[in-house]
Structure 1
């Protein structure tokens, strides 16, 4: 990118309106709980269709961990309406079960109480199941039961050719687009900790989370007889007890270019890891994991943001990126908003959209391994003690107050919000920005502080608090039903997904060993 930033370039040529109407999609995970408040032991409800092939209702790690996926829409209200309809349809089908509204799980009766997701007898279905078995052997099942929101964002397509021309780029439009997405990603890695501060909603954990790993409890403070916490935590989900894992800490994934990213991720997928060899791959005729490498497949690498391309059937995600470039980014650091029945609201989504565009249009120098480590340290600091008075982070090799840096990030977002609000009847983006400034000035207004305060005031351990809010949301959904038109659409999708799964199973021509060999040999 040239020395002038992209925002100045767009403003100079009066092309800033091209930043509007990027596509937003949301993926949301939620645990199904039994009437008694424990993780459901029942299979994925058949009335919800096939978890393998349904476009909008699937499962994540566990048979009980539902995942809802919206299509991408330019208007965030449409995205949220679709997510609300999925919830309503699911509640119309569920029998004496409800969805847990929190990211950190409750109702765990040991590791084996979390059933691993099943996807039928097809090769691709078996592969998805074996991958999850591998995660169990590597990290335990409990950690995989944590739920989150993934925010998918695609920069407006009309922006790319204009930006390509204004910058006088010599590379192809596709290569330019991918490089620009990596500019966005690097800036998000620098600044993404602000998502944890503003929206982190997992400051406490039910003691049952550690039933299979009691030795880990000693690092926490006790909130009450059933709850562990850190007083200033924002998102324990995003700390080193959540998705992070030590074996990935030394991975040096390259975010400076698409080719560097693909090559470094491919290297991790192809590199044996001694600790995983004793698990074995195929033991007594049964697969325990896909391989003994650092990563079984790309999805095992946990990062706060991923470059994504829509994959073809049985295509490796890295190959999809290599062949067709970056199509959108997936932001993975968002906790479920337990105060919202669908886990996310429009204000939160608008803030993230404005932040991502700010990351795109501002300077984004390349990152080396030391800087990447600093960004991870900053994130961990915010996850564990982001609300601590005068907490500091590392910026440009110097300690800065979190509040000062946060206000600087929001100041950089201001012109983006002005552009997104231009010619609109409501100043939604500016209202969102002003609302978040209040949370920076007063940490007690953040969701993480509110949760601890409400638990304290009501004298409820985390599991009771989480369950009571979850049941209230469930009651609201069960008191109404989805309209007939949308119900019919979902019923049709259910039938089609079951037929599609049967078709895939019928058409498999390779045995599973040969299928895996073919899958991993893709070039």
Structure 2
């Protein structure tokens, strides 16, 4: 493990999506009550609430800011008899008429046009899935100390984040295994007019093959940030994607400011975004801070792993593994691989007591999943 004093430093941010519901736990029909507040906004639909923390200097600080935003939100919603639906899968709704597109106007009207395109392409129901996005960037001092060959810093930084992106893409399944929390859903998600709670075959519907994915698998070129941005541009130029925001993969490389391939290519990577976390209904804020702490440790661990070529075949496998991890009964080999990665992380962070505690918390989840899987196999053999 590195002894760099900036190793655990960085910038952290949380985006939490939820839905607004009325006293009957039906989707709220009132306008979004927070105006253009950049920290309490919405994503696709008007009856959604997205809390966006400012940049923080630790997971703990980001969670505390999220708690403050959550409190403000709940107090304001309570004035209209509304509350937050703290589940990744939506409550019962009658039809897509209950899902009004976010009413962005004025300077933000282009956001509405984009959402109208999404409605036509994917339908509104898909957009009701809610979750947590975790944003992270390394401390600049840490990156400068890593740059031992005194390469152009801009280039070095971009190449490092691209290498990390590839590692996270092929390991995104692990975070799904550890944080999936949405096996139940209302039948209205299947068909208008239906009702009743269904136990699905998935532990996370939004991460499963039924969840947030493009109509095709966007194959990207990871040789450099320039070719990476260029391969996104090709999908946009051909009309396969409306914009970079429609790239529904579990990991994103983000520039500072406007999220566009032009900005990414010109100004480079500012931070990396992990998009696979389900809302945890047993956690008051919808997220257990230990899960985000583990994600940070996973990022640091993967940074130490060797680079590789993320071929089209490996990109397809990464998505298959991600969707497999979203099953209630994922493949045994995936669970075994999860144990291997976690045990390797234990060795990597062996000198950090807090890290070992966080890793142990997640390791227990894998052990429980393995036990559950073996119990099912044993019962079926009788």
| Count of matched residue pairs | 370
Look up the match of 2:245. Answer: 299
Matched, 1:228 2:198: yes
Look up the match of 1:443. Answer: 369
Look up the match of 1:270. Answer: 237
Matched, 1:329 2:272: yes
Matched, 1:38 2:26: yes
Distance in 2 separating the partners of 1:108 and 1:444? 36
Unaligned segments of structure 1, at least 5 residues: 1-6, 215-224, 272-292, 393-400, 422-426, 447-523
Matches within 5 A, 1:35-434: 35-45=23-33, 48-50=34-36, 54-94=37-77, 95-122=80-107, 125-165=108-148, 168=149, 171-212=151-192, 226-231=196-201, 233-245=202-214, 247-249=215-217, 251-271=218-238, 293-311=239-257, 315=258, 317-385=260-328, 387-388=329-330, 391-392=331-332, 401-418=333-350, 421=352, 427-434=353-360
Matched, 1:16 2:4: yes
Segments of 4+ moved more than 6 angstroms: none
Distance in 2 separating the partners of 1:203 and 1:306? 25
Distance in 1 separating the partners of 2:10 and 2:343? 21
RMSD over aligned Cα atoms: 2.0
Distance in 2 separating the partners of 1:341 and 1:414? 28
Unaligned segments of structure 2, at least 5 residues: 373-382
Structure of greater Rg: 1
Distance in 1 separating the partners of 2:28 and 2:52? 21
| SS of match in other structure, 2:14 | strand
| SS of match in other structure, 1:17 | coil
Pair 144,174 (structure 1): closer, same or farther in 2 beyond 3 Å: same
Distance in 2 separating the partners of 1:190 and 1:316? 23
Once the two structures are superposed, residues 299-347 of structure 1 have per-residue CA deviations (whole angstroms, 9 ceiling, x without a partner) of: 0110100001111xxx552122112211110000111111112111221
Greater relative contact order (CA < 8 Å, ≥ 6 in sequence): 1
| Mapped contact 1:191–1:409 kept (Cα < 8 A) | no
Distance in 2 separating the partners of 1:255 and 1:111? 38
Once the two structures are superposed, residues 35-77 of structure 1 have per-residue CA deviations (whole angstroms, 9 ceiling, x without a partner) of: 11111111111xx231xxx221111000111100111222222
| Mapped contact 2:94–2:193 kept (Cα < 8 A) | no
User: Aligned-pair distance for 1:439?
Assistant: 1.2
Once the two structures are superposed, residues 111-148 of structure 1 have per-residue CA deviations (whole angstroms, 9 ceiling, x without a partner) of: 121010012233xx211001101111111001011101
| SS of match in other structure, 2:6 | helix
Pair 254,133 (structure 1): closer, same or farther in 2 beyond 3 Å: same
Matches within 5 A, 1:446-485: none
Distance in 2 separating the partners of 1:306 and 1:189? 9
Distance in 1 separating the partners of 2:146 and 2:304? 10
| Mapped contact 1:185–1:359 kept (Cα < 8 A) | no
Distance in 2 separating the partners of 1:364 and 1:336? 32
Pair 20,146 (structure 1): closer, same or farther in 2 beyond 3 Å: same
| Mapped contact 1:23–1:72 kept (Cα < 8 A) | yes
| SS of match in other structure, 2:94 | coil
User: Aligned-pair distance for 1:203?
Assistant: 1.6
